[in-house]
Amino acid sequence: MPDTPAYPVGLRLAGRRVVVLGGGTVTQRRLPALVAAGADITVISPSATPSVEAMAEAGEITWERRRYREGDLADAWYALIATDDDAANTRASAEAEAHRVWAVRSDDAEAATAWTPATGRTSGVTVAVLTGRDPRRSAALRDAIVDGLRDGSLGAPHRRARSGGVALVGGGPGDRDLITVRGRRLLAEADVVVADRLGPRDLLDELPPHVEVIDAAKIPYGRAMAQQAINDALVAHARAGRFVVRLKGGDPYVFGRGMEEVQQLTREGIPVTVVPGISSSVSVPAAVGIPVTHRGVAHEFTVASGHVAPDDPQSLVDWEALARLRGTLVLLMAVEKIGAIAATLVRHGRAPDTPVAVVQEGTMAAERRVDATLATVAGVVEAEGVRPPAVIVVGPVVGVGAEG
């Protein structure tokens, strides 16, 4: 009865015997979920993909390097039949039927006693979609539902799992699509958002009306919310029982003063979660086609803050040592001091003709890149009117293009 709908059920396979026949790409795709379910998995196949073999070597599965033979499904709770031998698949299906073992067949869904749904997981929810003979539609529906749950556009009332806490979320370099899945999910659950200027600003427009947004922008050489005021706001709202998201640009711990906020919250006894973000130090160069490392060109990259001039007593950077390195130097917050920095690097050994790229508003709509050398970068930045935020890349990787 091919038109009879399947009865959906969630199998609890922890510690239970599961037999997988075949070691090809279908098996490779299905095994991670079975491992995550805690199943006792035996793969029977004379050969396997490198990934399946690696899982066997890691002890996640047992691999018997032979072909299927009758009796292999004895005592199994569930079977995946995915060999390239039609006759063996048919015999295994018959054995599964005789032993009342639910079995999936990769080659003939109609001959199977179970179907594998398109499955996704997020926020403690498992989404499984079955559309019969249309696996592409199943996958598309699964993706739409999971994406909605992750970004908060799809949801339902539920008992709150958290209250009175803070999440420090790294929002990435600015493009709304470059925040992490976890960061976006937590943002959708926030009562209060304390947002940096360099975070993904477009996401704030998606917040429900009841969410309070606090502007914690620090405009270079202009208006800024004091760090202590930010810390105090986090503490006050969390103590009032609200869930607060501190939305920061890049990664909270890469020149983001994230640890200062964590230390304050910890001293106050407030639970805090840190969600890493994509740092602009690597993502912005990548967005304009610059790899911070490249075989035969650069074997290391160094990220340094340029907000303090090299000759300033407050500087903690060993510019002389950086000048001796042969790899890539990525400078953040360095637009104002780039002239002094470039001169210092040249004075201590970097070649004046070392390529430099300055990327303003990386990953954003106003993104632009200007190129120079250490000898010319100060003049180019001034002539082009480059303003923060900008990421400056120094080194031969600047000249590495996709065509190379």
Q: How far apart are CA 157 and CA 334, in angstroms?
A: 46
Please give, one letter per residue, the 3-state secondary structure of the chain.
CCCCCCCCCCCCCCCCEEEEECCCHHHHHHHHHHHHCCCEEEEECCCCCHHHHHHHHCCCCEEECCCCCCCCCCCCCEEEECCCCHHHHHHHHHHHHHHCCEEEECCCHHHCCCCCCEEEEECCEEEEECCCCCHHHHHHHHHHHHHHHHHCCCCCCCCCCCCCCEEEEECECCCHHHCCHHHHHHHHCCCEEEECCCCCHHHHHHCCCCCEEEECCECCCCCECCHHHHHHHHHHHHHCCCCEEEEECECCCCCCCHHHHHHHHHHCCCCEEEECCCCHHHHHHHHCCCCCCECCCECCEEEEECCCCCCCCCCCCCHHHHHHCCCEEEEECCCCCHHHHHHHHHHCCCCCCCEEEEEECCCCCCCEEEEEECCCHHHHHHHHCCCCCEEEEECHHHHCCCCC
Question: Residue 338: which residues within 8 A CB-CB, separation 6 or more?
Answer: 306, 331, 358, 377, 378, 381, 392
Residues carrying an active site annotation: 196, 218
Listed residue (403, 392, 240) closest to 322, CA to CA: 392
Return the sign of the alpha-carbon dihedral for residues 264, 266, 268, 271. Answer: positive
Q: How far apart are CA 48 and CA 116, in angstroms?
A: 21
Q: How far apart are CA 145 and CA 162, in angstroms?
A: 23
